[in-house]
Amino acid sequence: MDPALAAAWLVRLTFLALLYLFLAAVARILLRDLRAAARAAPELGRLVVVEAPAGQPPAGSQFPLGAVTTLGRDVNNAIVLEDPFVSSRHAVLSFRGRTWYVEDLGSTNGTYVNGIRVEAVVPVGWGDELQVGGVRLRLERAEPRAER
């Protein structure tokens, strides 16, 4: 076989092999990334305090959420909000299927989602804002575990 032709073949195959080497490297990283995400404990979401007039809990504090999370002034709630306008059993957040819902438990001052008063059970999206008494909270997706 002509050596020039053989060399050209070799280079061509090396080129294709390098393309697939790149893809294999990417696939390896992606797989590792997905495995790490699957291993991480499933945290359903969290509430971030945007504003709390009474200062308790302080703005910026975060609460990891369980599938059912109760909010109110009473110490038996999952999230205790010290605010004069919060009822003792104020509202409940629940995760059903793939969406969060909020329900007002007959509180005196009401619960608001993005400024609209909650009358029945209402879905809450990521980034939506809840107002419970004077406290404003935002529903955020949980931080994914660090890739590594």
Contacts 24+ apart (CB under 8 A), 60-66: 62/140, 64/142, 65/93, 65/95
Position 16 contacts other proteins (CB under 8 A): yes
3-state secondary structure of 95: strand
Query: Which residues inside 86-105 make contact with other proteins, applying CB under 8 A?
Result: 98-99
Which is closer to other proteins, CB of 75 or CB of 120? 120
Q: Which helix (H) or strand (E) holds 118?
A: none
# binding residues, other proteins (CB under 8 A): 44
Which is closer to other proteins, CB of 82 or CB of 143? 143
Which is closer to other proteins, CB of 13 or CB of 67? 13
Q: What is the DSSP letter of 25?
A: H
Q: Give residues with Cβ within 8 angstroms of 109, minimum separation 6.
A: 85, 86, 87, 133
Which is closer to other proteins, CB of 59 or CB of 74? 59
| Separation in Å, CA 14 to CA 2, 4, 18, 50 | 18, 15, 6, 56
**17, 9 contact by CB (below 8 A):** no
Position 19 contacts other proteins (CB under 8 A): yes
Query: Which residues inside 110-129 make contact with other proteins, applying CB under 8 A?
Result: 112, 114-116, 122-123, 125-127, 129
Contacting positions for other proteins (CB under 8 A): 4-5, 7-9, 11-16, 18-23, 25-26, 29-30, 33-34, 37, 50, 98-99, 112, 114-116, 122-123, 125-127, 129, 131, 136, 138, 140-141, 143-144
